[in-house]
Structure 1
Amino acid sequence: MQAVMEITGLTKMYKNGRGIRDMDLTVHQGDIFGLLGPNGAGKTTAMKLITGLIKPDRGGVRLFGADVQENMVQAMKHVGCIIETAESFPYLTANDNLKQFARYYPEVDQARIDECLEWTGLIKYKHEKAGKFSLGMKQRLGVAAAILSRPKLLIMDEPLNGLDVEGMLAMRKLIKHLAEEGTTFLISSHLIHDVELTCNRIGVVYNGKLVHVEYTDKILSDYSSLENYFVSEVERNGRV
């Protein structure tokens, strides 16, 4: 199985003691990999390191064989991402927002924009300004922008933030649809139930450490729920 992402000894610590320490992880082609952990565990720091937004204290990341620090353009060539909040131009419509992003990708035309709006449930709002959107709709627009270029790897930091139940169901359906088309995912979340339903492999992040990685099927054969597994992993790794 081909490695899409190889993380070795990745470390970034802040003065307040938060960050990520000695992270080792390989994500293979076709994985829907979930980083599961409470807020403040280090998930967003890991995402920012993986996408080259911040520099590590030590360690490194390779995406599709290219080093993120040494050759970011090549490493990120086939990557789409949403880190923290999805940004958009509030004075532009959903359609015009995507047209702005499409300028970076010569192969993206109006038909592709409409396809991404359809998949994210925004097609009927394509001519409404993003500034009037709810948090959940802005999140959907961010996802539409992230998938415009048909990325081979999609990195999503808390993609279900702000979504209502309908939005969550639509997002899960979209992730599974794209995975079937060959997209690999790295998703961070603190929502245990959603990770259980969406991801085929799960890594628990706690207190700045990636404490355990396992296939979802294996976890659910050993534990009654992902929540029980998560609690046992956290307790095993020193939570008082």
Structure 2
Amino acid sequence: MEKVIEICSLTKLYKNGRGIDDINLEINQGDIFGFLGPNGAGKTTAMKIMTGLIRPDRGDVRIFGHSITESYEKAMAEVGCIIEIADSYPFLTAYENLRQRARYYQGVDDCRIDEVLELTGMIKYKQEKPRKFSLGMKQRLGLAAAILARPKVLILDEPLNGLDVEGMIDVRNLIKQMAEQEGTTFFISSHLIHDVELTCSRIGVIVNGKMLNVDSTEEILQNYATLENYFVSEVERNGRV
């Protein structure tokens, strides 16, 4: 199986003592990797480094063999992401927002824009402006933007944030469909453990900035009744912030 993401000795420590410390991880093509941890454990810090938003103190991230610190454009060429907030231009319509994004990519035409709006359940809001959208609708539009250029890797920080039950099911199904049919690789953080259990093929737990166990969801559920039981056990065993 091809290695898509390689995280090597990744470290970023802040003045308050928090951050991440010596994280090592490999993600293979087609993996749906769930990144779990308590608040303040370092999930978003790691994902910001992975997408070039902040620099590490030491260590590196390689995507398709390209260093995020040395060859940023090559590393991010086939990556889509949502980090913290799914941002958009509030006074442009949903369609116009995606049309703006499409300018940066080759081969993204109106048909593709309509396709991603359909996939994310936003096609009926195509001509509406995000300033009037609910949080869940903004999240759906952000996901549409993230998949617009058919990326091979998606790095998603809390992608189900603000979605109703129907929306969560739709996004879960979309993620699994893209992984199975297109070989898309996902790196997902979420506090919604039940949805991670239903979506992700591999799980990694981070506590106090340190990476703990990484295992397949199938293996975890052979030893624990639920992913929540596993997560609570790991956090309690390694100490909560």
Task: Sort the TM-score into its range (normalised by shorter chain).
Answer: over 0.9
**One-letter amino acid of the counterpart of residue 189, structure 1:** S
Count residues in correspondence.
240
Partner of 1:189: 190
1:69 equivalent in alignment to 2:41: no
Structure 1 ranges of 4+ moved more than 2 A:
none
In structure 1, what is the equivalent of residue 129 of structure 2? 129
Q: Distance in 2 between matches of 1:149 and 1:191?
A: 27
1:106, distance to aligned residue in structure 2 (A) = 2.0
| Structure 2 residue matching 1:127: 3-state secondary structure | coil
Amino acid at match of 1:114: D
Determine if contact 2:30/2:185 at 8 Å carries over to the other structure: yes
Q: Show the 5 A alignment for 1:188-207.
A: 188-207=189-208
Q: How far did 1:24 drift?
A: 0.3
Q: Tell me the equivalent position of 1:105.
A: 105
Q: Confirm or deny: 8 A CA contact 2:208 2:240 kept in the other structure.
A: no
Please report how far the alpha carbon of residue 238 of structure 1 lies from its aligned counterpart in structure 2 after TM superposition. 2.7
**CA deviation after TM superposition for structure 1 residue 115, in Å:** 0.4
Deviation, 1:206, is 1.1
Instruction: Provide the identity percentage.
Output: 70
Describe the SS at the equivalent of 1:49. helix
CA deviation after TM superposition for structure 1 residue 237, in Å: 1.2
2:237 maps to 236
Q: Which amino acid aligns with 1:188?
A: S
Task: After TM superposition, list the pairs within 5 Å mapping 1:20-35 onto structure 2.
Answer: 20-35=20-35
The residue that corresponds to 1:165 in the other structure is 165
Distance across 1 between alignment mates of 2:38 and 2:137: 24
2:87 partner amino acid: E
Q: Any residues of structure 2 matched to 1:147-166 within 5 Å, and which?
A: 147-166=147-166
> C-alpha separation between the residues in 1 aligned to 2:207 and 2:168?
24
What is the TM-score of this pair, normalised by structure 1?
0.98
3-state DSSP class of the match of 1:56?
coil
- In 1, Cα distance between equivalents of 2:107 and 2:150: 10
Q: Distance in 1 between matches of 2:238 and 2:47?
A: 22
Residue 143 of structure 2: aligned partner: 143
5+ residue gaps, structure 2, are none
Specify the code of the residue in structure 1 equivalent to 2:99: K
Instruction: Provide the rounded CA distance (Å) in 2 between the counterparts of 1:190 and 1:217.
Output: 19
Cα distance in 2 for residues equivalent to 1:18 and 1:212: 20
1:180-237 deviation digits (Å, cap 9, x = unpaired): 2211000001111111001000001111111110000000001111111111111221
Does the Cα contact within 8 Å between 2:207 and 2:240 map onto a contact in 1? no
Deviations 1:114-149 (A, max 9, x none): 000000000000000111100110000000000000
SS of the residue 1:128 aligns to: coil
Amino acid at match of 2:193: I
Q: Tell me, in whole angstroms, the C-alpha distance in 2 between the residues paired with 1:36 and 1:209.
A: 12
- Tell me the residue number matched to 1:225: 226
CA shift, 1:178, in A, is 1.0
- State how far apart, in whole Å, the 1-side matches of 2:198 and 2:225 are: 14
Q: Deviations over 1:40-71 (max 9, x none)?
A: 11100000011111000011110000000000
Distance in 2 separating the partners of 1:72 and 1:57: 17
2:4–2:28 Cα contact (<8 Å) kept: yes
Normalised to the residue count of structure 2, the TM-score between the two structures is 0.98
1:20 partner SS: strand
Q: Distance in 2 between matches of 1:29 and 1:10?
A: 21
Q: Give 1:239 shift.
A: 3.6
C-alpha RMSD of the superposition:
0.9
Q: Are 1:212 and 2:219 matched, yes or no?
A: no
